[in-house]
Amino acid sequence: MADERFYPPANFASLDAEDSAFETSRVVILPVPYDSTVTARAGTRDGPRAIIEASADMELYDVGLGIEPWKVGIHTLPELAPHTGSPDAMCARIEEVAGELIDAGKFVVTLGGEHTVAAGSARAYAARTPGLSVLAFDAHSDLREEYLDSRFNHACTLRRILDVAPVTQVGLRSAPVEDVELIREQGLAFFSPRELREQGHDAVTSRLSDDVYITIDLDNFDPAEMSAVGTPEPGGLHWDEVSDLLVALTKTKRVVGFDVTELSPSLGPRSCAQLAAKLTYRLIGLATTSR
């Protein structure tokens, strides 16, 4: 009975069926409502749905970029069911599904859920992209080898990604002393917001290879713009700073895939889900559309 009198099925950007079919879409949205290892304020399992719902309110012409990213086709998968065996098993499931999508020629956008989900998607890309590097936006170092009896706790996300690809992080402003020592000993590229402002985009992009996977923990933003996260930190990045860095990056590098994680919609105003949705949409445009 569905016709023009009804809203289309919920999908990212609320696209019509012909613009969101799996077979013809360049981009696939993989929602992962997983927050099993959260240690502060919970709620990120509701993040993927909130981002998709908020995306229905976007104008599909990106004024800042001058393009319409939806024209590459964006298909939204059903939510990935959690694996309750262990965080390791859940990351393996994400890696398996993301790998199948990559092998099918799709550009995979993973929506979390807690930041742990990024390890699965990033590892799937690293296994298929020789020389891959990772750009991480995060307020926290996330470099613990293990936390609360798990190597795939959210506090270990960048360590698990570092196992398979070099990581450059921006937004850092909270870390245990052990992580700081590791950063110094290995000369890892971690930029605080102030260091990014002082050193500029080139300091970041010069550390990256030609092919880049991007992982975004939304707590990299200042809480004034993004309060709906479990572990907010003062002194974060702002919308234009993140967007401008992404624009600079995509002028010289190829973004192969990305994730957006850690939205906990009940912890902030609706504008937070809108920011996450627009950030996802803009990065789809930067990564897949000629400008």
Per cent of the chain over pLDDT 90 is 90
Residue 136 has pLDDT above 70, yes or no: yes
In the numeric block, the tokens 């956008």 are attached to 109
pLDDT > 80? residue 2:
no
- The mean pLDDT of the chain is 95
Q: Give me the pLDDT at residue 291, please.
A: 53
Q: How many domains does the chain have?
A: 1
At 57-89, the pLDDT tens digits run 999 999 999 999 999 999 999 999 999 889 999
List Cβ<8 Å contacts ≥24 apart for 265-271: 265/43, 265/46, 265/47, 265/50, 265/228, 266/43, 266/46, 266/228, 267/41, 267/43, 267/227, 267/228, 267/229, 267/230, 268/226, 268/227, 268/228, 268/229, 269/227, 269/228, 270/54
35, exposed or middle or buried, with CB in 10 Å at 0-12, 13-18, 19+? buried
Domain of 66 in residue numbering reads as 24-288
Residue 141 lies in a domain: yes
State the pTM of this model. Answer: 0.96
40 belongs to a structural domain: yes
pLDDT tens for residues 203-246?
999 999 999 999 999 999 999 999 999 999 999 999 999 999 99
In percent, how much of the chain has pLDDT > 70?
A: 99
Residue 8: inside a domain: no
Q: Find the range with the poorest average confidence among 33-47, 70-84, 125-139, 244-258.
A: 33-47
Asked whether residue 105 is assigned to any structural domain, the reply reads yes
In single-letter form, the type of residue at position 261 comes to: T
Instruction: Judge whether 135 lies within some domain.
Output: yes
Instruction: Look at residue 274 and tell me if it is in a domain.
Output: yes
Asked if the structure places residue 6 within a domain, the reply is no
CATH assignment at residue 111: 3.40.800.10
Would you state the pLDDT for residue 148?
87
pLDDT at 3: 78
Q: What is the pLDDT of residue 41?
A: 86
Per DSSP, the residues of the chain read ---TTSPPPP-GGG--HHHH-TTT-SEEEEEE---TT--SS--GGGHHHHHHHHHTTS-SSBTTTTB-GGGG-EEEPPPPPP--S-HHHHHHHHHHHHHHHHHTT-EEEEEESSTTHHHHHHHHHHTTSTT-EEEEE-SB----S-BTTBTTSGGGHHHHHHTTS-EEEES--B--HHHHHHHHHHT-EEE-HHHHHHH-HHHHHTTS-SEEEEEEEGGGB-TTT---SSS--SS-B-HHHHHHHHHHHHHHSEEEEEEEE---GGGS-HHHHHHHHHHHHHHHHHHHS--
pLDDT at 254 over 80: yes
Instruction: Flag whether pLDDT at 290 surpasses 80.
Output: no
Task: Give the mean model confidence (pLDDT) for residues 119-132.
Answer: 98
In a domain, 7, yes or no: no
In the predicted structure, residue 1 carries a pLDDT above the cut 80? no
